[in-house]
Amino acid sequence: MESLKDKIIMERLPQHIAVIMDGNGRWAKQQGRMRVFGHQHGVDAVRATTEACAELGVKYLTLYAFSTENWNRSSMEVDALMALLTSALKNELKTLNDNNIRLNAIGDLKRLPKSQYEALMYAIDNTKNNTRMTLTLCLSYSSRWELTKAVRDIAEEVKNGTIRPEDIDETTVSRHLATAGMPDPDLLIRTSGEERISNYLLWQIAYSELYFTKKFWPDFTKEDLYEAIIDYQTRERRFGKTSEQIKK
Ligand code: IPE
Ligand code: IPE
Ligand code: MG
């Protein structure tokens, strides 16, 4: 029997997939467990998705793990998420290296507790020469934080004469974002049935294809990822042109 994976057209693989991993809390509640239980199982879905992307040949996978707004959750939940971050970084480091995956992180990382920050920097440094895929964790990240910082940095360059206001173009803005150097996501996946962006990569997803699934994140499997990619491959990306122009 033909598997889902075989239906993927390898020549039209998204180069960059971004994911809003949502629904851990509801997944746990469904089985009468604490929210933290859902986050713990979310790590398995991270591993499966990362592996599947690397195996296929996706070059960039960017995961929304903790938003600026998530700092407003109870300290119990925030602490549990932070503890999970350290253990995942420690436990998955070997797998990242075995699979030749480079770890990257974006966000207001200075807000992370010292031990999480250090574990993160260690893992990033330890995987920096890997070339198969870049896995970016968005931590203490929000798009408005990122854009505000970019505006401030550009203003600073104008002030010290490195750049003139009339020379600021879209490339200048892109270069000042935390994602500088990465291609924009081709495909954005959000789990859990919510259909919103929640302050994620607002500039970068200007032309991304959006894919929403009702599955809660801990239930998201490699097969679900394949389904999302197959759906993506049925879309016609017109970038403002007409269908006829694209087909020429
Ligand atoms: C996503 O799951 C993980 C994080 C935001 C850290 P949630 O914790 O938001 O789960 P729900 O949306 O409450 O079910
Ligand atoms: C978005 O999920 C952030 C992450 C997945 C890390 P949330 O669950 O925090 O989003 P909202 O607040 O419900 O939109
Ligand atoms: Mg949520």
- 238 band by pLDDT with thresholds 50, 70 and 90: very high
pTM of the predicted structure, to 2 decimals = 0.98
- 135 band by pLDDT with thresholds 50, 70 and 90: very high
Nearest residue to 46 via CA among 95, 117, 109: 95
- 36 band by pLDDT with thresholds 50, 70 and 90: very high
Residue to mutate (ligand 2; options 24, 26, 29, 70; most atoms within 8 A of CB) = 70
Residue to mutate (ligand 2; options 22, 35, 78, 137; most atoms within 8 A of CB) = 22
- 85, 120 Cβ separation under 8 angstroms: yes
Across all residues in the chain, what is the average pLDDT? 97
Ligand 3 centroid to Cα of residue 96, in Å, is 26
Hey, what domains does the chain have and what are their CATH numbers? 16-140+185-234 (3.40.1180.10)
Residue range 39-63: mean pLDDT, rounded: 98
Q: Ligand 2 within 6 A of 70 CB?
A: yes
Q: What percent of the chain has pLDDT over 90?
A: 98
- Say whether pLDDT at 18 is over 90: yes
**Side-chain half-sphere exposure of 189, counting CA atoms within 13 A:** 28
Tell me: the pLDDT tens digits for 79-119?
999 999 999 999 999 999 999 999 999 999 999 999 999 99
Strand-by-strand arrangement of the 133-141 sheet: 101-106, 133-141, 60-67, 16-20, 187-190, 209-212
Q: What residues are annotated to the active site?
A: 22, 70
CB atoms within 10 A of CB 188: 26
Backbone torsions φ then ψ of 209, nearest 5 degrees: -85, 135
- 1 band by pLDDT with thresholds 50, 70 and 90: low
- The one-letter code for the residue type at 208 is S
- 229, 55 Cβ separation under 8 angstroms: no
Nearest residue to 73 via CA among 137, 136, 24: 24
Q: What percent of the chain has pLDDT over 70?
A: 100
- Say whether pLDDT at 51 is over 80: yes
DSSP type of residue 70? G
Going by alpha carbons, the residue nearest to atom 6 of ligand 1 is 66
- 248 band by pLDDT with thresholds 50, 70 and 90: confident
CB within 8 Å of 90: residues ≥ 6 apart: 119
Q: What token pair was written down for 119?
A: 């574990």
Residue in the block written with tokens 């499997």 = 221
Residue in the block written with tokens 């939940």 = 77
